[in-house]
Chains A and B, each alone.
Chain A
Amino acid sequence: MKWDKILKLAGVILVVAAVAVLSVVPLFPGVKWLPFANLIRQGLDLKGGVHVVLEAQDTPEAPVTDDRVKQAMAILENRVNAFGVAEPIIQQQGPRRIIIELAGVQDPDEAVGTLIKTAYLEFKTEDGTTVLTGRQLKNATDSKNPQTGQYEVNLEFEPDGAKAFAEITAANVGKRLAIVLDGNVLQAPSIDEPIPNGKARIAPYESLPEAHNIAILLRSGSLPVKLEVMEKRTVGPTLGADSLDKSVKAGIAGLIGIVIFMLLYYRIPGLVANLSLIIYALIVLMIFAALHVTMTLPGIAGFLLTLGMAVDANVIIFERLREELWSGKTLRSAIDAGFKRAFVAILDSNVTTLIAGAVLYYFGTGPIKGFAVTLTIGILASMFTAITMTRWLLHLVAGSNLVRNLKLYGA
């Protein structure tokens, strides 16, 4: 017996067990990241929510331009914020499409309806009466005042709006005029003096982008282009939670199956493989958490599939180990020879799966991309654990002389 090797082995097992427990069970409620599995973002199919693909459509009045799509996105963003959704995703895809993802929305259909309805811009006096609407606003532009050096937004009203605006400003000097978009107060500048000509100025702003933003929102009292829903997917929160729960259970059942099989078939090396399989799973989950990978249902399936492939690397090595033992080598040289020969096979075979993963990532969208990411991370991590961890652990076990019967190594 070599006590130093046995101690090392016991240390490894203890550390792995501790990390495994900590990653799953919230032992210290004060430490937020401490089951780190919680850090892995869940996709919409797991936590429920809505995924919409909108496409800008040409109309005679408003053909699609890049500027109009950008404006529409700014308005949508403003509306999404009104839902109070955590981490909404609004992104442009191609020249005409906008993807929106909202997690945990109670009424997804209403949310989509609100998103693509025509916006409503109104001006309200301090007592809450609407005195002007977006229809009466002709234009809003941002600029830098050459005299004062301040950033400002210039408003220009339609003729009927200009008349009403003149009356309102005359009657409300010193008071505030609220600019309300979709029921949210965008701004409430105070009226310094009566404005008779329908040309108003709001100043100052912190920066030009800020003024620019406000000007866009004002200009686009309504959506600048027609938006069509191309694709809409909603998942209720209970269904999402149920899917997550079920796949976790399936994963645990599958993992137990593998662990038992490896133990029965490969004995001591099987035990080592099981330990490195747990290390593998922990490493992968940590990478998911660190890279903020969004976990989807196909993603979970991909991860579980890599468990099978992670064991494969071990199986290749152990089969080689057996052969080397049969040919009469000592345990240690058999371990080294087995690894050396298995490495080429593992490398070549995994590169092809990596190619499939890269192609899936390049061509895929949404959940398919998630599947590709989990598959790729899984394969890379499995090569690492199989080649380094399993080898080191096998040497530790062999060196400890705990088990001397070569039959238990597969001979």
Chain B
Amino acid sequence: MLRERMPFHFIKLRKIWYALSILIIIPGLISLFTQGLNLGIDFSGGSLLDLKFNQATSVEQVRNVLQGFDLADASIQSSNETDFIIRTRELSEEENESIVTAIDSQLGGVTLQRSERVGPVIGRELIAKAIYALLAASVLMVIYISWRFEFKQGVAAILALLHDSLVVLGVFSIFQIEIDSAFIAAILTIIGYSINDTIIIFDRIRENLLNKKKGEALEDVINSSLWQTIARSINTVLMVEIILVSLFLLGGTTIRGMVLALLVGITVGAYSSVCFASPLWFDLKKQERRAKPGAARA
């Protein structure tokens, strides 16, 4: 009949999940504090030039031209022999133009595929907006979950989101992958997805608690709810990942950072919904009963 085979007990093994989560989060946190994030020009301000050369060109050749403009420390990144992305401090319109002209004439022809210039004020505003957005989204979601379920489930879900965001930020910090404004969209989508996933499970727990057999322990109800929804959890994350992997492999470089963040975040989000949010809620619930011994005996 109904999922009688439950290979292990999710809640009883929760210490293992917590340990696993901490093991994933700690290196990221260390990296966040020591080397921080690689903020793109969207946040830090600066200029970006995306160039396509007519002939094979080396990073040294490009750097040589830039040295003439006092830009020896510019970051030069090439995806192949003809495509280069150059990031510098903020350049004025005239500087920008003369650099492109110089590169064009000295290195045998170049097309300016993309150019971005962001002032430091805009960057600061963007960071402020991003933080407001994350706070607003979290608060609204806790309110909704508290209304539809209970406050402690809201807290567990938000802690799971924090978990997911920390993992993604950690990965981006460790590998120093550049963060642009689309990264904010990615984080909010991950949050939306992870909560979505958590709620499907909480919904099942809510339903199973209503039909609970006498004497059935809460941890067993949660465990069987998790096993009842596990196929859905895995299938859905697979489906979203099919899309993301194809976007990552075929979708071009401009959204690769965003797709990578989504890929990491949605995988972790699926994991945290099952192995972090639900056990956490169980532990929160247990505290409540300890505080009210009368209720536990009843």
Chain A residues proximal to chain B, CB less than 8 Å? 45, 53, 108-109, 112-113, 228-236, 238-239, 242-243, 246-247, 249-251, 253-255, 257-258, 261-262, 265, 297-298, 301-302, 304-305, 307-309, 311-312, 315-316, 319, 323, 326-327, 341, 344-345, 348-353, 355-357, 359-360, 362-365, 367-368, 371-372, 375
Contacts and interface: CB of A to CB of B under 8 A. Distances in A.
Contacts of A316: 200, 232
A311 B144 contact: no
A242 B252 contact: yes
Nearest to A359: B137
B247 A254 contact: yes
B136 A359 contact: yes
Contact of B243 (A305, A349, A364): A305
Given A234-B114, A315-B236, A355-B137, A302 B189 contact: yes
Given A352-B199, A359-B136, A250 B246 contact: yes
B232 A250 contact: no
B90 to A, nearest CB: 10
Given A309-B240, A351-B144, A359 B196 contact: no
A197 to B, nearest CB: 43
B contact patch SS: helix
B145 A359 contact: no
Nearest to B135: A359
A302 to B, nearest CB: 7
Given A250-B246, A351-B144, A239 B96 contact: no
B1 to A, nearest CB: 6
Interface residues of B, number: 70
B195 A352 contact: yes
A305 B240 contact: yes
B8 to A, nearest CB: 20
B21 interface: no
Contacts of B242: 254, 257-258, 261, 308
Given A258-B239, A345-B204, A352 B117 contact: no
Interface string B228-256: 11011001101110111111011110110
A357 B93 CA distance: 36
15 contacts: A231-B117, A231-B119, A251-B243, A254-B244, A261-B238, A297-B255, A298-B255, A305-B240, A309-B196, A319-B232, A349-B197, A356-B188, A363-B133, A371-B182, A371-B185
Interface string B1-21: 110000000000000000000
Contacts of A233: 114-117
Contacts of A356: 137, 141, 188-189, 191-192, 195
Given A233-B115, A304-B247, A355-B144, A348 B232 contact: no
A230 B119 contact: yes
Contact of A246 (B129, B188, B250): B250
Which 9 A/B pairs are nearest by Cβ-Cβ distance? A356-B192, A308-B240, A254-B243, A353-B192, A250-B250, A257-B242, A246-B252, A363-B133, A254-B246
Contacts of A327: 1-2
Given A308-B240, A345-B199, A232 B252 contact: no
